[in-house]
Each structure stands twice: as structure tokens, then as C-alpha cells.
Structure 1
Amino acid sequence: MTPPTISSTFPNAARGVPSHGRLRAALLPILGCLVAASAAREGEVVRVDDTWQSKVEGAEVYRGPDMVAAIQAAVNGLTPGREHKETVHVRASGAVLLPDPMPELVSIEIPSHTVLNFHGHTLHVEEGERVVPLRARDARRIEVRNLRITGTPRFGIFMKGCQEVVLANLRLELGLEGDPESRGGAGIRTEGGDAPWSGEWNRDFVLDNIYVANTRGHGVELWRTDGLTVTTITTRNTGYAGLLLNQTRNAKIDLVDAWRANPGGGYAGFRTANDAGPNIEVRRVVAVECGRGVFTVSGSQGITIHEVEIARSTGHGMLIEDTENFVVHGGTIVDCGAEGVRINSRRLGQGPGSDHHPSSKVTVQNLRIMGCPWGIRETLPRTHGNRILNNDLRGNRNCLEVQGEGTVAEGNRCE
């Protein structure tokens, strides 16, 4: 902290106030910061044999068999009503203890201004349809770091109407060891404050190095989120999408890396839907053996993908439907079950749900597409005004079809 200039900060400095008074006044902000910092509490959760122990500032707040209760006790022991972040350190791995009788939901509730650092340890869930290991509602300035979740929770992490959230270095390796058919419910999910699509927005989320495997549902699904920064999201063997952005805007994503996201189905390694956008920028999408590689739909808008690497999709490499102001700048799409790129708009009243704008102002350029039934295909009824430029479409059964009024197709290579 740079000390303030006394003459500019304190008007009385030029009026003969004694120097020790000026010094005291100048030090007050600094002393205040030091007092606040010294008042910050820390919690620690450890395990000895089968007993969990929680301490806050050295004082024991829990001793017993329950990992979730131990962590919650440490969280609850932090400074009440705080306006600064305080941290609970979890120093051991363990399993969620299922109470008898089972409550409606078992969760660690994360309040505002809380950091949970698991230091690489594991939280395991057995028979977890009523278990969501970590949950936050209407909270702000929270962090979850360095955690591995295994087993079969309903969700790994669930957040509703939260702001200024950091999720970093998380591995959700779901399913039960020795049972290749077992899966967790879903990985990470956010919803609006009232419902997935309404109420308080989630704001300013950072997802840093997230890995999700073996879900029945989506790997990472964000609803109603304004402000998103992603370094890497890696998904493996998800029942639905790898990363799904619903009603999410102002997102900057470095890498989505998905393998076997909904193979044989309609979801994609990377999907946007339900009025997602604008201002969604993705540096790279890798999608291998997914239902689709990329799928934008139902009012998506304002999306830029710089590079795709899509292989062996059971359906489309990319399906761009009811989407406007979309750009893909380049990459490869190989060996897909349907068109390499399909640009389409649903008929009014076709559903599901309400009608959305047609696909227009879509630019598809500099792609190498091969091994697909079609290279690029634009279809009606309402699609129009797109740009298909400088794509290498050799090696597909059919090359290029353009139906939309005002669409420009130039520089594409078929033979």
C-alpha cells in the first residue's frame, strides 16, 4: 500500500497541524488494514484414523466421524458477517457419511467470503442421489480449490445466484471403482437465483483447470451467468454435453477438450443454448467421438470460435441452428456421421419451446473438412445472409450446398 501524500490527502497539513498529528492521520488507514488482516480467521480440518477434527484459530469446533460435518463446522466457525475472504484448509481425504434417516440433501454449504482449499484431497460419495458435496446459494466472493470428487453425487458442485466465484484445479472423476457402468449425476451446475433461467444472475465466474468424467448428465452446465473466464475444461465420457452454456454471456474460454460427450445423441462437446451470448469467445474446441462437436441453438448469438479440432462425431461436426453473429475461424473436422457443418433454422412454431431468431450473420471459414456425408450444408426455411469462405471440402461424399438468401460462398475447394 502506498502511503498517502499528507498535503493532498489532509487539508490541515498546510495549516500548521503538528507533524505527529499528521503522521498519526497518515498511519490510520495502514493500521486499519493491518488490524483487518490480523482479524481474519483460518480453519483446518484433519483426520486421525476414523475421527475428523476441525479447528478455527486453534480452537476445536468439531470432533467426530463425519467429514461433511467437520468441514461445515470449520466454515461456520469463521468470522460472522465478514466482508473479507477467510479460508478453511482440508488436510485429508474421506467419504460422505450418509445419515440414517437420510435428509433431503447432504451438502457443504459455502457462504460468502469463503475459500475452501482441499490441497489435492478426495471427497468420495456412495449412493449419492441426495448428495451434492458443495453447494452455494446467493453467495459472493467464494473459492473452491484443489479438490477431487469421486463416486456418484447428484451434482459435484451446485451454485445458484452467486457472484465472484473461483473454481480451480478440480477433478470430478465420477463413478464407482470396479463398476465401469456407474456414473455420477452431473459435474458442475449453476442456476439463476429463482430458477435456472430467472432471478439473480450468477456473475464473474472463473473456472481454472476443470476435469469431469463419467456423468449421466452434463459435465459443466452454466445457466444465467454473466462474466465467465475459463482456462481449460476437460470432459470425458459425459452422458450429455461436455460444456453447456445456457443464457450465459460475456465469456472468454481458452480450451474445451471433450471426449465421448453424448455419443449417438444430440448434445455436443461444446454447446450453447437458450439465448446464450453475446460476447462468447473460445480459443479452441477439441471434440472427439461426441454426438456433435459444436452445437449452437435456441437464440445463441455473438459467438466466436477461433479453432476447432473435431473428429468422429456420431452426428454433425458442427450444427449452427437459430444462431446469429457466429464465427468459426478455422480448424479441422473429420469423419462425422452427418454434415461437417450444418447451418439451419427451425420453422416458426416447430419448437421445442419458443421461437428464436434464424441463423444469419454466420461466418464459417478456413476449415478443412473430410470424411463426412457433406462438407458444409446451409438449409432453410429461414436461414439467410451467411458467409462460407475459403474452406477445403475435398474428401466428402457431397461438398457444399447453399440455400439461404444473401449467403455468400467464395473460395471453397471441392476438388
Structure 2
Amino acid sequence: MARFFVVAAVLALASAVNAQCGSGTPDARVTGSSGSYTASKGSSTVYSGSDYRAAIQSALDSISSGQRVAVIASGSIGANTITISSGKTFEGCGTIDVGNRSGRGAIESLGTSDVKIPYLSLTGNPYFGLRFYGTRNLELGQITMNLSGGLGIRFDRDNAANANVKIDVVRVTGAGSHAVETWNIDGLEVNQVIARNVGECGLLLQKTTNARVKLVDGDNVAAGNGYATFRMANNNGQTSDGAYNTNVRVDKVVSRGGGRGVFCVSQSGGAVIENVDLANNGNNAILIENCYNVAIRSGTVQGGGEVRLAARSEFPNNRDISISLTVNDNTVRESPCGQNIAWSIQGNAQKTIC
């Protein structure tokens, strides 16, 4: 019963927030319903017809930098892409249903600056729901994705880097892959990533520096595989001079069921997690593998897979790791022994540490 009221409260809050979408006087609007859409800029019609994607793109193309589009109508864009250019604000007030376009995002902003997406509601099975690279001063607000597969938000690996990205609240359900995956960001602020029934990670940070995350909350995330509610990988937190000074700060990670709770791997580090609340994870509650300067300062682990420090031979061993936790009905293991490892474990966990 309590869970029902929590869900109801979240939905009510989302409805209240979305009610603000399209408020005031947007510079362009998309209105209508299935089979009949109109894109207008001021008093001028820039598109009228049955193609929902064309209506949205026409509205976006009609405005200039510093102006705003509000998509009031709901509809499907199919396996196609909406592109947002620099300086534009895109509000998805209706529900945008999307298809799978290989290697592409349903909505993209590439090589741009000062793009804002304050509101968005997405459904469907995209390759990527949102796709970015080469962005500067990107702002994402209230983003809700109720998916039947695909990946939620993706910052590309093999393209231009990003700077100064702000993300407010992202809620993703049903993604087959990650809810949010970053590559190559310097300067990232995240309020909340809330992942439910997601196939791989809730939040995956890679080659991302100077990051501040308030909350990652996962339920049934990464079940049956090696991913995690919160994962740092591929030199995440390593600065341009090769150092691992603390520059990734996470306030709280909550994880229930699924696979791993927290996972740091492949020469990542420079990170502090202030608090964790992990229970009944199907794989390691926490796994730290070949990472440097990582601290988990407080929290609880209840049951699930073990808390583990491990290492692969192809990378230097763990070093400068500090973990302070209450761990119950579980095990804590360090193998092989790392360098400068500090443990403070309370609770009834069995410990095999150096």
C-alpha cells in the first residue's frame, strides 16, 4: 500500500511539472492529433499535414537561437530523427512515440551550444532516445522515458567532447540498455536519475570529469549481467594530466534487486560517494576493480551479492580506496590486496580483507 502511494505521488508531481510545459507564449507550437498536425510560428503556419515528425522539425527550423518550441500534440515519429540546433529550447509537452533508427537518436543535438530541453515525454523502442556529442551548455530538465527497449540518453564515445552539461530529473523505465550513458563530458551536473526495470545501467559515466550527481536510484536494474545501477568505467574521473584527484562527487546511490549496485572499473576513480542504500542485489552489491582514489563514506548494504575489491591483471591494482559501511547478511572481500585500502565495516558481514 505504501508503495502505491509513493508511485501515485510521483505521478502527481510529474503531472504538475508537465502542466508548466508550453506555458506563456512559445515562439512556435505544434498542435493537433493523429493524422492532422499544425506547426505554427506566431500567427503563421509553417506546416500542416499528417506527418508528426515533419511538423515538429518544421517548428524547430522556423525559430532562431534564443527562441522556444512547445510540442503540445502527441504522436509518433517512427524510426526517424528530430534535430535541435544551437540556442533553441525544445519542450515536449505531449508524448512522443519513437522507433528504432540504427545508430541514431530519436532526438539529437550534435555539435551545438546552449540547447535546452526542459520537458520531454518519450515512449517506444529507440536505438537512442536522446543522442548528443560536441555540446556546450546543454540543459536537460524533466525527462520521462517509458520505453519498451533501447537506450535512454547517450553521449557518444567516438565524437567530439561535451562541456557543461546539466541534467535535472531523468526517469527511465523499460530500457533494454542504459538509462543514461555518458562519454567525454567535462562538467556534468545531475540532480536525479531514476531507473526502473532497465536492462543495463541506471547511470553510466565514462571519461567524464568534474561531475556532481545528487541521486541515482535503481530498481531491477542490470538483472543477470555485469552492469550496475551506478557504474564508472573507461578512465572515468581521470583528468587530462593522468591524475585521479577527486572530481566526481555523488551524494547517494539507491539500488534494489537487479544486478550490481555500484561498480567502478577500468582505471576509473577520483570519486566520492557520500552514501549508499543497497539491498538484495543479484550480483555484487559493490565491485571496485582497478580503480584509484575512490571513497564510499557511509551507507548500508543488506544481503545480495558481496562487497568486493578485485583486479584484472591488464591494469594497475586498486589503490587509495576508502569504504565505510554497515553490511549485513553478506560478505566483504578484498582479493587481491590493493594499495592503501581503508575499510570500516559494521554489521554481521563476513570479512576477508587485507
TM superposition score category, shorter chain reference: 0.7 to 0.9
Cα distance in 2 between the residues matched to 1:248 and 1:364: 22
Task: Call closer, same or farther: CA 1:296–1:114 in 2, change over 3 Å.
Answer: same
Cα distance in 1 between the residues matched to 2:100 and 2:264: 34
The Cα shift of 1:127 comes to 6.1
Number of the residue aligned with 1:230 = 190
Q: Match for 1:280: what amino acid? A: V
The Cα shift of 1:152 comes to 1.1
**Greater gyration radius:** 1
Cα distance in 1 between the residues matched to 2:117 and 2:52: 16
Number of the residue aligned with 2:147 = 174
Can you list the C-alpha shifts for 1:100-139, whole angstroms capped at 9, x where unaligned? xxxxx610001000100123x2001256658732111101
Cα distance in 1 between the residues matched to 2:233 and 2:103: 28
Can you list the C-alpha shifts for 1:152-186, whole angstroms capped at 9, x where unaligned? 111110111111111111110002xxxxxxxx211
Number of the residue aligned with 2:261 = 293
Given that 2:26 and 2:70 are in contact with CA atoms closer than 8 Å, whether structure 1 keeps it comes out as no
Find 1:363's aligned residue among 300, 313, 322. 322
Number of the residue aligned with 2:310 = 344
Find 1:56's aligned residue among 21, 37, 41. 41
Cα distance in 1 between the residues matched to 2:138 and 2:321: 32
2:266 match: secondary structure: coil
Answer 1 or 2: which has greater strand percent: 2
The Cα shift of 1:151 comes to 1.3
Find 1:89's aligned residue among 41, 46, 70. 70
TM-score, with length taken from structure 1:
0.74
Given that 1:41 and 1:78 are in contact with CA atoms closer than 8 Å, whether structure 2 keeps it comes out as no
Number of the residue aligned with 2:343 = 388
Report which structure shows greater RCO (CA 8 Å, sep ≥6): 2
Alignment partner of 1:400 is 2:317: no
Number of the residue aligned with 1:36 = none
Find 1:164's aligned residue among 137, 143, 167. 137
The Cα shift of 1:49 comes to 5.8
Q: Match for 1:253: what amino acid? A: V
Compute the RMSD of aligned alpha carbons.
1.8
Given that 2:104 and 2:131 are in contact with CA atoms closer than 8 Å, whether structure 1 keeps it comes out as no
Task: Call closer, same or farther: CA 1:310–1:62 in 2, change over 3 Å.
Answer: same
Cα distance in 2 between the residues matched to 1:130 and 1:255: 29
Alignment partner of 1:274 is 2:234: yes
Report the number of matched residues.
322
Q: Match for 2:334: what amino acid? A: E
Cα distance in 2 between the residues matched to 1:218 and 1:285: 16
Q: Match for 2:326: what amino acid? A: R
Number of the residue aligned with 1:69 = 54
The 5 Å alignment of 1:12-411 reads 42-47=27-32, 50-79=35-64, 82=65, 85-96=66-77, 98=78, 106-119=80-93, 121-126=94-99, 132-175=105-148, 184-191=149-156, 196-197=157-158, 199-278=159-238, 279-337=247-305, 339=306, 341-348=307-314, 355=315, 357-365=316-324, 367-372=325-330, 374=331, 376-380=332-336, 383-389=338-344, 391-394=345-348, 396=349, 399-403=350-354
Q: Match for 2:317: what amino acid? A: P
1:216 match: secondary structure: coil
The Cα shift of 1:310 comes to 0.4
2:287 match: secondary structure: strand
Task: Call closer, same or farther: CA 1:261–1:51 in 2, change over 3 Å.
Answer: same
Can you list the C-alpha shifts for 1:286-344, whole angstroms capped at 9, x where unaligned? 0111211000000111100000000111111100111111000111101113x2x2112
TM-score, with length taken from structure 2:
0.87
Given that 2:321 and 2:342 are in contact with CA atoms closer than 8 Å, whether structure 1 keeps it comes out as yes
Given that 1:52 and 1:64 are in contact with CA atoms closer than 8 Å, whether structure 2 keeps it comes out as yes
Cα distance in 1 between the residues matched to 2:100 and 2:310: 42
Cα distance in 2 between the residues matched to 1:252 and 1:186: 22
Task: Call closer, same or farther: CA 1:151–1:41 in 2, change over 3 Å.
Answer: closer
Number of the residue aligned with 1:23 = none
Cα distance in 1 between the residues matched to 2:297 and 2:95: 40
Gaps spanning 5+ residues in structure 2: where?
A: 1-24, 239-246
Gaps spanning 5+ residues in structure 1: where?
A: 1-39, 99-104, 176-183, 349-354, 404-415
| Moved segments of 4+, more than 6 Å | none
Can you list the C-alpha shifts for 1:35-70, whole angstroms capped at 9, x where unaligned? xxxxx9811111156311111232111111111111
1:248 match: secondary structure: strand
Cα distance in 2 between the residues matched to 1:223 and 1:131: 16
Can you list the C-alpha shifts for 1:331-363, whole angstroms capped at 9, x where unaligned? 1101113x2x21122113xxxxxx3x3211000
